Structure 1
C-alpha cells in the first residue's frame, strides 16, 4: 500500500494503519488560494456574531492547514430567508463585486450556514410536475449555474459545536473544491502497479436515473478523470443529460458536422484526455475506466458501446493513438466476504475485526 505524502514545511509520510491515518500537525500537499469570499446565513436561530466567529476560526484552520486564505470576507455575514435564496445571493454577490471594484478580483468561495432541517436549500426538491432539482437544492443551483461560485455548506450544529475536528474536515473539503490537493500517493518512491510505469489516466463513470414516475426527466451521466500523474489524486468531472433511463453513456464521444466548420469531434472522454495532456504534459499510454451502476444483463452491451466510444475518442486526437484500456465494472451488491488470516493481529484488522484496507 502506498503511503500518503503530506507537507509539514518539509515532506512527511503519513503511513496508514488499519485503513486510517492521522492528519494532526500536517499540512496539505498543495494549499489553494482563497482571497475573496462571502458568508451567508440561512439559519434564523444563529446569531451573526457566532457565525462571524465560526468563519474566522474556519479561515484560521485553512491557513494552518497550508492554504492562503483571507481571514475576513469581502462583506460581513448576511442573513437570507430560505425562500429568497436566489434574490438574496444575487444581490449580495453584486454588492461584493462592487466592493471589489477596480481590483478586478472574483469571489472565489461562498460559505453557507444552513439550518439543520434545510429542506430545498440543499436536498432534492420536487416541483408541481415532479421534476427534481438536479444540482443539490436551491443554494447549489444558484451558486454553480447562475453565479459560477464554489460553495461550502455548513449546518448550524457545526457552528454551535465548532471543534477542531469539524474545522479541519471543512478545510480539507474547501481546499479540494478550490483546486488544491490534500494528500497524494507517494508514487515516486513507492511504485503503484499499473500506474507509475507509464502515463496513466483513471476514469470513473456512472449514470443517475430519475425516480419512478418522472417520465420526462433525463438521466444524468457523470464522468471524472485524474488530472495528475503519477499521483492520480486530482480529478476533473463532466456531466451530461441524456435519454430518459438510458444506461449506456451517450456522450463519451460524439461527432457533429457543421457546414462552415466541417467535422467537429467532442465528448466527455475526449475533453478529459485533452485536459490531462494540458495539465501533465503527458499523453496517456494507459486508460483505466471504472464504470458503476451496470446490471449483469447489460455488461456486454455497455462494454461494447463504451469501449468503442473510448477508442474513437482516442483516435480522434491523433492517428493510430490507441492506448491500453482496462474497463472495470464496479458493483456494490455482491456476496463476497473477506476475513482476516489472524484475528489476533491488531495491525491487520480494524476495531470490528474486519481486514484493514491498508493491508
Structure 2
C-alpha cells in the first residue's frame, strides 16, 4: 500500500492586521457585491415595467434577464464565498443560498400576513380601531356560517374523499392491466389537471346548463334527461345538492393527480411481498387491505392533505359557476366579495387570517409527513 501524501496548505495569515485585510475585507465584498448586483437587477426590472416597448418583447427580455441575472448573482456570490477562510465559508454559504428565498418569503408572506392582521382590527376603510368586531362577524354571520359548512362538509370531506378514493381505485385497477392500456388510461384521466379551475368551469357549464322543458337544450345532462322524457332540471339551483355538483368539477380535476402519485407508490411495493401474500392464500382484497394500503400509507396521507389544502382555498370554481349564490358560498369567495364588492378591508383581512389559520395545521402535518418520507429514503 502506497502511503498517502498530505498536501501542504499555506497557513492563513494571523494577526489583527491580516484579519482586517483578508477575512473582514472578503466578508464585506461578499455582502456588498451581491447586494449591488441585486439592486442592478431590481432597477432593470423597474425599467422593463415602465418602458413603452411592446409587451411581448418586454416579457422575453424579463425572462432572459431574470434567469440569467439570478444565475449570475448566485455564481458571483458562491465565488466570493469560496475566497473566504473555511470558518467563514461554512458560516456564510447557507445564508447565500437560503437567504434570498427567506427574504422573498418574508417580504411576500410574513409581512403581508402581519399587515392583514393589523387591518383586520380596523373598520372597512382602515381608519377606526374596531378590535375583534370583524372576527365576530366572521363567526356569527349567516353568510360565513354557510361558507364554513360548504368548505368543510362538501368540499373538504366529500371532495377530498372522492378525489383520493377514485384516484386510489383507478391506480390499483390500471396497475393490473397491459402497460399500453395503463398509459392511455392514465393520460386521459390526468389530462384535466392541465386545465385551470375557470377553464373547467366553462366546460361544466355546458354540462349543467338549464333551459325550460320544450326549449332547445344545450346542457348535456338536461339534453339526456329530456330525451328520456323527464323535465329539465336547474342543477345549480338545487340546494344543497348544487354544492355536490360543483364538487364533482374539483374531483374531475384532482383525481388524475391522486391517481398518478398513488400509482407510483403502488409500483414501489416489492413484487415479492405481493407474491408472498398470494402464496399464503390471501385474496386480492386482503392483499390490498393488508399489504398495499400499509405500504402506501405515507403517500396516501400526503395526497389527502394536499387536496385538503386545495379545498380549503377553493374559489375559482364557485366564482365562475354560481358566484357564491344559491347556497354555494365558500370562505375565499366571501373574502373576495368583502374586499372587491363591499370594499370592506377589515372584514376581508379577518377572513384571510381565519383561512390562513385553517390551512396552517394541514401544511404543518404535510411537511412532517414529507420529512418522514425523506428520512426513510436516507
Q: TM-score, normalised by structure 1?
A: 0.22
Q: Which has the higher contact order (CA 8 A, sep 6+)?
A: 2
Structure having the larger proportion of residues in helix:
2
Structure having the larger proportion of residues in strand:
1
Q: TM-score, normalised by structure 2?
A: 0.21
- Between Structure 1 and Structure 2, whose CA radius of gyration is higher? 2
